[in-house]
């Protein structure tokens, strides 16, 4: 063998070895974008510079999360009507004291205007931070193998869900209360929508020594109880009956929890008996969302609700059911809802519905990125070239719309 042939043989051997390593990566057991996670991890191993840069940014973000304080639901100074601080508690954000009443009661609604009193009870903010931090730490563990990230994620999960002294009870009986009107509402379940992503992120920890099979079984038991409460309690059923983003994110949660509990029969039932009906009731034939357009923050809620439908389609892929291309008998679909909003996001049309705060078209960009990855080029009009240049490193790696 001459020298050139020998060098070529060595190069081929190295490339073959790299490919073998990449191919040996198993698909994670997540139910959101498992194939994407696997592919991106393989591409990182092969030296994809943009993904390596995204991973490095993710790890820096995870390092910051490691330094943040852990919180629990029992820290609040106020006590729920049950007398038990383990019960989650929040106040409706758009409800204000009635200035015409001496004591301000009952509160009155000002849609889109957040009453700062909401932040006097921190359960909602703590839960939001928990879900985001577990997502970051679990993704960092998956793309690095560093047990420090998994260990901190496991600690956060035990504090919020498992430890007797600090755990949250698996209900939302006192979510989004309205002073003078109600102690809790079904609408409060919008507070917990990110739990769907948290449950998915936990799947990335299953190979870690920090997250034991006993931990996982205990967390599944918590979500089993919470799902049962959502499906059968009066408050849970009240939220199920909502015909706007609240109903959409109710399905996001119940579907994700069913998948977390490995109940694909229930998951398929939710898609076929609930979500498909929501596409029928919430969308018009042209793709517009009348319930969201009626809000004072019509752009914000239209984007939020469409993200919910996209997440449902991502979750449905794990069953598998193709919601991306599903159409109702009269032609309504998630894709048409995306196409209806696209020209407004691109600045080709002016948004004419009420929007009492600044409109941010960049909020639509993650949807364009996901759509470009899901649909064939022939199914969509040409999208802006910058659609493939996301700034959020976590999103680039995971396509998480939460």
Averaged pLDDT for residues 133-147: 98
pLDDT of residue 23: 54
Domain-embedded: residue 279: yes
- Give the pLDDT confidence score for residue 385 in this predicted structure: 66
The domain that holds 342 is classified in CATH as 1.50.10.100
Structure confidence at residue 24 as a pLDDT band (50, 70, 90): confident
Q: Is residue 325 part of a domain?
A: yes
| Residue 17: pLDDT over 90 | no
Quote the pLDDT of residue 5.
47
Tell whether 176 is covered by a domain: no
Residue ranges making up the domain that contains 324: 242-402
Assigned domain for 310 exists: yes
Instruction: Please name which of 283, 295, 311, 289 lies closest in space to residue 359, comparing C-alpha atoms.
Output: 295
* Res 18: pLDDT: 43
Over the stretch 151-175, which tens digit does the pLDDT of each residue have? 999 999 999 999 999 999 999 999 9
Supply the DSSP symbol for 176: E
How many folded domains does the chain comprise? 1
d(CA 141, CA 223): 23
Q: 238: which 2 tokens? A: 């009240």
pLDDT at residue 230 tops 60: yes
Q: What is the pLDDT of residues 259-288, one digit of tens each?
A: 999 999 999 999 999 999 999 999 999 999
In the chain, DSSP finds a helix count (H) and a strand count (E) of: 16, 4
pLDDT tens-place string over residues 65-102: 999 999 999 999 999 999 999 999 999 999 999 999 99
In this model, does residue 111 exceed pLDDT 50? Answer: yes
What is the average per-residue pLDDT within 227-235?
Answer: 98
Q: Do the domain assignments include residue 262? A: yes
| pLDDT score at 392 | 83
Residue 58 lies in a domain: no
Mean pLDDT comparison of 101-105, 303-307, 386-390, highest-scoring range: 303-307
Does residue 219 contact residue 161 with C-beta atoms inside 8 Å? yes
**For residue 15, with 0-12 CB atoms within 10 Å meaning exposed, 13-18 middle and 19 or more buried, which class applies?**
exposed
Task: Work out the average pLDDT over 332-361.
Answer: 97
Q: Residue 387 has what pLDDT?
A: 63
Q: What is the mean pLDDT of the chain?
A: 93
- Does residue 322 register a pLDDT over 70? yes
Does residue 285 belong to any structural domain of this protein? yes
The answer as to whether 157 is a domain residue is no
Angle in degrees, 0-180, between the axes of helices 34-45 and 3-23, rounded to the nearest 10? 150
């Amino acid at each position: 063998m001459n020298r050139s042939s020998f060098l070529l043989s060595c190069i081929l051997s190295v490339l073959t070895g790299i490919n073998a390593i990449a191919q040996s990566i198993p698909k994670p057991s997540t139910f959101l974008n498992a194939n994407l996670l696997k592919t991106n991890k393989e591409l990182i191993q092969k030296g994809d510079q943009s993904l390596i840069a995204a991973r490095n940014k993710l790890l820096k973000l995870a390092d910051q999360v490691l330094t943040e304080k852990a919180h629990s639901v029992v820290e609040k100074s106020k006590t729920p009507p049950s007398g038990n601080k383990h019960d989650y508690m929040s106040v409706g954000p758009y409800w204000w004291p009635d200035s015409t009443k001496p004591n301000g009661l009952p509160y009155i609604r000002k849609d889109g205007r957040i009453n700062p009193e909401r932040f006097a009870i921190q359960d909602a903010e703590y839960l939001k931070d928990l879900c985001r931090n577990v997502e970051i730490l679990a993704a960092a563990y998956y793309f690095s193998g560093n047990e420090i990230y998994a260990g901190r994620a496991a600690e956060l999960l035990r504090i919020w869900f498992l430890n007797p002294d600090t755990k949250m009870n698996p209900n939302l009986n006192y979510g989004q209360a309205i002073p003078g009107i109600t102690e809790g509402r079904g609408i409060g379940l919008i507070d917990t929508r990110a739990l769907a992503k948290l449950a998915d992120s936990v799947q990335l920890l299953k190979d870690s020594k920090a997250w034991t099979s006993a931990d996982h079984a205990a967390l599944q038991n918590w979500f089993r109880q919470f799902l049962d409460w959502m499906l059968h309690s009066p408050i849970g059923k009240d939220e199920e009956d909502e015909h706007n983003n609240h109903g959409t994110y109710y399905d996001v949660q119940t579907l994700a929890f069913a998948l977390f509990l490995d109940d694909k029969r229930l998951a398929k039932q939710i898609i076929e008996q609930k979500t498909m009906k929501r596409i029928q009731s919430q969308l018009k034939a042209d793709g517009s969302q009348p319930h969201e357009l009626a809000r004072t923050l019509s752009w914000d809620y239209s984007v939020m609700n469409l993200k919910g439908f996209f997440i449902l389609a991502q979750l449905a892929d794990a069953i598998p059911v193709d919601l991306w291309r599903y159409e109702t008998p009269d032609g309504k679909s998630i894709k048409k809802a995306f196409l209806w909003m696209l020209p407004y996001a691109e600045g080709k049309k002016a948004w004419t519905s009420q929007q009492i705060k600044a409109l941010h078209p960049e909020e639509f960009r993650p949807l364009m990125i996901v759509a470009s990855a899901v649909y064939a080029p022939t199914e969509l009009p040409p999208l802006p070239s910058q659609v493939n240049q996301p700034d959020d490193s976590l999103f680039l790696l995971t396509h998480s719309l939460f």
